[in-house]
Structure 1
Amino acid sequence: MMEGIHAPSGRMRATTILCVRVGEDVAMAGDGQVTMGDTVIKAKATKLRTMREGRILAGFAGGVADALTLFEKFEAQLERHPRNLARAAVELAKEWRSDRYLRRLEALLAVADRETSLLIAGTGEVIEPDDGILALGSGGPYALAAARALALRTDLPAAEVARQALEVAAGICVYTNDEITVLELPAHEGHENR
């Protein structure tokens, strides 16, 4: 069984997104590099966002315009299924796979709330990692390996595991830089998930 998730990068060579869950800590990190072919055209892009008043983290790998379209579609699914991240993700994947226009979008999404971390792909996959760690993009395999090692061998919180793992990926992958953004879910307050 897979203990972490890395989505194949295909032509999506412009990013690394990593979601880490350590105990009750949940964080997502992304680098800032955007490339066209072999040329870096932006170093400080933001590929992460929060949704549902900060209760959901989301990140993307792939085309920016494609990802923004998918974020809008995902937010619409969250409106329909506000207390069920997995259901919203499955409904997005179904729509993405069946809609002729959406099928052409080249992006992958990572989403996480307090209970669940998911990778969503246009081929219909909605995958939850067994160990709470998932990675997208060109530097994904390096970040995933580093995050697994850090999570197993240290007592670092999720945000620090994510940051350090992305630093490792940036040192290896030419499509990943060290302009790292880290977002965390707020401290656990009761068990609210709206």
Structure 2
Amino acid sequence: MTKIRSTTVLGIYHNGEVALGADGQATIDKYIAKSNVRKVRKLQDGKIVTGFAGSTADAFTLLERFEEKLAAYSNNMKRAAIELAKDWRKDQYLRKLEAMMVVANKEELLIISGTGDVLEPDHQIAAIGSGSTYAQSAALALKKHAPHLTAEEMVREALNIAADICIYTNHNLVIEKPN
């Protein structure tokens, strides 16, 4: 069975601000299935922003579980991420899910993977998905050579650069910042 796949999600913490964005393309095999998928969501009344890559159904399952963990751990994002990663690694059902998440609040940016990892990314840049290396490279250059830009401007520009290069990334961007 051919799976829906491919996306680019990028989060940047810069000058005390966080922005998280994603393109809108969903691909099945070699074909664009949809061009305006919303892969970035706000949780906890906008205090936390999440972005996902991988199977959409799997990602929504993880989003629901992450929200449950946030509620259980008094909205402590890092603790909720660690507990989700533990469950993801141990639970037979969750282990089969094919997705990754980037989560952010005003202070931190994390990558959560199905292998039980919760990563605080180097350079305060989190990128996942098929276009992630393009977006991350552009973001690193922007942080180094255009520090006057806001985190949101950097995310937008880096995702647009990725969309110019990666066939699995488009220019229909959704960018959010935590409240």
Q: Give 1:122's match in structure 2, choosing from 98, 107, 114.
A: 114
Cα distance change of structure 1 residues 12 and 147 upon mapping to structure 2, 3 Å threshold: farther
Aligned residue for 1:151?
143
CA contact (8 A) 2:4 2:29 kept: no
CA contact (8 A) 2:6 2:27 kept: yes
Cα distance change of structure 1 residues 126 and 12 upon mapping to structure 2, 3 Å threshold: farther
**Is there any run of 5+ residues in structure 2 with no aligned partner, and where?**
none
Counterpart CA distance in 2 for 1:174 and 1:41 is 13
Q: Write the letter of the residue equivalent to 1:171.
A: D
Provide, for residues 104-130 of structure 1, a one-character-per-residue CA deviation record: whole Å limited to 9, x for no partner.
000000001111111001110000013
Aligned residue for 1:169?
162
Tell me how far 1:12 sits from its aligned partner: 7.9
Scaled by the length of structure 1, what TM-score is found? Answer: 0.88
Scaled by the length of structure 2, what TM-score is found? Answer: 0.95
- Secondary structure of the equivalent of 1:131? helix
Q: Write the letter of the residue equivalent to 1:153.
A: H
Tell me how far 1:13 sits from its aligned partner: 4.2
Aligned residue for 1:4?
none
Q: CA RMSD in A?
A: 1.2
Tell me how far 1:178 sits from its aligned partner: 0.6
Counterpart CA distance in 2 for 1:12 and 1:146 is 26
**Is there any run of 5+ residues in structure 1 with no aligned partner, and where?**
1-10, 187-194
Aligned residue for 2:76?
84
Q: Write the letter of the residue equivalent to 2:165.
A: I
Counterpart CA distance in 1 for 2:15 and 2:149 is 10
Q: Write the letter of the residue equivalent to 2:138.
A: A
Counterpart CA distance in 2 for 1:85 and 1:109 is 13
How many residues matched?
176
Q: Percent identical across equivalent pairs?
A: 46
Give the alignment of 1:54-133 within 5 angstroms: 54-133=46-125
Q: Give 2:42's match in structure 1, choosing from 46, 50, 65.
A: 50
Aligned residue for 1:190?
none
CA contact (8 A) 2:52 2:59 kept: yes
Runs (4+) of structure 1 moved beyond 6 Å? Answer: none
Q: Give 1:142's match in structure 2, choosing from 123, 134, 138.
A: 134
- Secondary structure of the equivalent of 2:127? strand
Aligned residue for 2:32?
40
Provide, for residues 76-104 of structure 1, a one-character-per-residue CA deviation record: whole Å limited to 9, x for no partner.
00001124211100000000111101100
